[in-house]
Amino acid sequence: MPAITATAPGKCILLGEHAVVYQRPAIAVPVHQVQIRAIITPIPGGNQNDIWIESPAIRLCSRLHQLAGTHPIKLLISAIMSDLNVDHLPPLRLKISSTIPAGSGLGSSASVAVAIIRAVTAFMGFSLDNSKINQLAYQSETHQHGNPSGIDNTVITYQQPIYFIREQPFELIRVKNSFALIIADTGIPSSTRDVVNDVRCQWQQNPTKFDTLFTCAADLCNQARSAIEDGNIQLLGDLMSRNHTVLQEMTVSSVMLDHLVDTALQAGALGAKLSGGGRGGNMIALVEPDESIHIETALKQAGAVNIIKTIIPANNTTTHP
Ligand code: PMV
């Protein structure tokens, strides 16, 4: 069996995080500047226990059978094997490398899952369609995050801008005019699972307030989809900034996220907001390409520990995947 390499990108949520857990729409785009790479090499002459899993970023180097039964990679590989109807893997080394910071809202866990699914299935000589890959990746996200909406695994599997409502078929978004994003990392790790759980507690205590916030985020998201389809980037920026205010009211922003959002806006961004689970991780700023260096410098001076620039290209995608 030849060695196999599979990759999966990062992602960011343009609008609608948290509300999307409660069946409101959200928009997400792939971020190709960061990625997970899964490389599988055969171990000639190895025995049945020689299935090595290595992930230097999380200091993991272990035989598969020695991982705890609840380990997400072990659960994922079992699910893939059961889907492929194979009862054992040949001796192999699966090495996972990452340029996606964990716990930063860029979708590292879903990206790991998609890269592993693609690598293992190709190594075993199978090919799965995106819908099956997405389903397996969602299952893996559930083991890790408890109650994920499914937006991360979907945008990372399909690698295109998506309009997503939980438990409904998602839609690809037609992008009339390309637009540029700066993604700035607060350097503060945050657990999406904890923040999502905390929002749930607050929603249970004050359903009227939180339902209103979720519906407000949904309105902004629907307007943002139209703005993207109409090529109205100025309006998209305004809607993103308004979504940040709604997220602040949900209590998922932080001093540093607010500081970077304000900095980006003062430096001329068209819009800015936190992206992902919040309370840490990344913020995003929608920028005119000409202004991007200036805004990037301002964000670095304001304490951003890492900056990624990405362009969402114009496309003619129809609305069905
Ligand atoms: O922090 P991330 O990148 O995993 O994004 C989480 C997005 C949430 O809406 C907060 C949760 C979810 O499952 O959609």
pLDDT tens digit sequence for 79-101: 999 999 999 999 999 999 999 98
The H-or-E segment that residue 201 falls in is helix 192-205
- Which ligand 1 atom minimizes the distance to the CA of 151? 14
Q: Give the end-to-end CA distance of the chain in Å, rounded to a whole number.
A: 32
Two tokens, residue 135:
């389903």
Ligand 1 centre to CA of 276 (Å) is 5
What was the pLDDT predicted at 317? 66
Confidence tier at 41 by pLDDT (50, 70, 90): very high
**pLDDT, mean of residues 200-225:** 98
Helices (H), the chain: 72-84, 108-123, 130-145, 151-158, 192-205, 207-230, 233-249, 255-266, 292-301
Instruction: List, in order, residues 6 or more apart from 159 with CB less than 8 Å away.
Output: 9, 30, 32
**Residue pLDDT, tens place only, 140-159:** 999 887 889 999 999 999 99
Ligand 1 centre to CA of 51 (Å) is 32
Q: Which domains does the chain have, with CATH numbers?
A: 4-164 (3.30.230.10), 174-312 (3.30.70.890)
Ligand 1 centre to CA of 107 (Å) is 8
Please give the DSSP secondary-structure letter assigned to residue 252: -
What was the pLDDT predicted at 319? 55
**What's the rounded Cα separation, in Å, for the pair 135 and 113?**
11
**What's the rounded Cα separation, in Å, for the pair 181 and 154?**
20
What was the pLDDT predicted at 318? 59
**What's the rounded Cα separation, in Å, for the pair 236 and 181?**
12
Dump the DSSP string for 104-115.
Answer: SSS-HHHHHHHH
Ligand 1 pocket, mutate which of 163, 196, 210 (most atoms under 8 A from CB): 196
What was the pLDDT predicted at 144? 82
Strand, helix or coil for residue 129? coil
Dump the DSSP string for 130-155.
Answer: HHHHHHHHHHHHHHHHSS--SHHHHH
**What's the rounded Cα separation, in Å, for the pair 75 and 291?**
45
**What's the rounded Cα separation, in Å, for the pair 190 and 138?**
20
Ligand 1 centre to CA of 139 (Å) is 15
Cα–Cα nearest to 124, from 38, 37, 40: 40
**Residue pLDDT, tens place only, 43-64:** 998 888 899 999 998 889 999 9
Ligand 1 centre to CA of 157 (Å) is 16
Strand, helix or coil for residue 180? strand
- Residues within 6 Å of ligand 1 by CB: 13, 17-18, 20-21, 105, 107, 148-149, 151-152, 192, 196, 276-277
- Read off the amino acid at residue 247: L
**What's the rounded Cα separation, in Å, for the pair 137 and 150?**
9
- Count CB neighbours of 207 within 10 A: 10
Ligand 1 pocket, mutate which of 11, 12, 13 (most atoms under 8 A from CB): 13
pTM: 0.95
Whats the size of the chain, residue-wise? Answer: 321
Q: Please check whether residue 310 is in contact with residue 321, taking contact to mean a CB–CB distance below 8 angstroms.
A: no
pLDDT of 237 over the 60 cut: yes
- Give bridge partners of residue 93 from the DSSP assignment: 41, 52
Q: Please check whether residue 110 is in contact with residue 116, taking contact to mean a CB–CB distance below 8 angstroms.
A: no
pLDDT of 320 over the 60 cut: no
Q: Please check whether residue 8 is in contact with residue 100, taking contact to mean a CB–CB distance below 8 angstroms.
A: no
What was the pLDDT predicted at 253? 98
Q: Please check whether residue 28 is in contact with residue 105, taking contact to mean a CB–CB distance below 8 angstroms.
A: no
Q: Please check whether residue 52 is in contact with residue 94, taking contact to mean a CB–CB distance below 8 angstroms.
A: yes
Q: Please check whether residue 183 is in contact with residue 12, taking contact to mean a CB–CB distance below 8 angstroms.
A: yes
CA distances from 269 to 19, 80, 294 (A): 24, 43, 10
What was the pLDDT predicted at 142? 92
pLDDT of 134 over the 60 cut: yes
The C-alpha torsion from 181 through 138 and 253 to 282, rounded to 10°, is -40
What was the pLDDT predicted at 1? 74
**Residue pLDDT, tens place only, 180-204:** 999 999 999 898 889 999 999 999 9
**Residue pLDDT, tens place only, 160-173:** 999 999 999 999 99
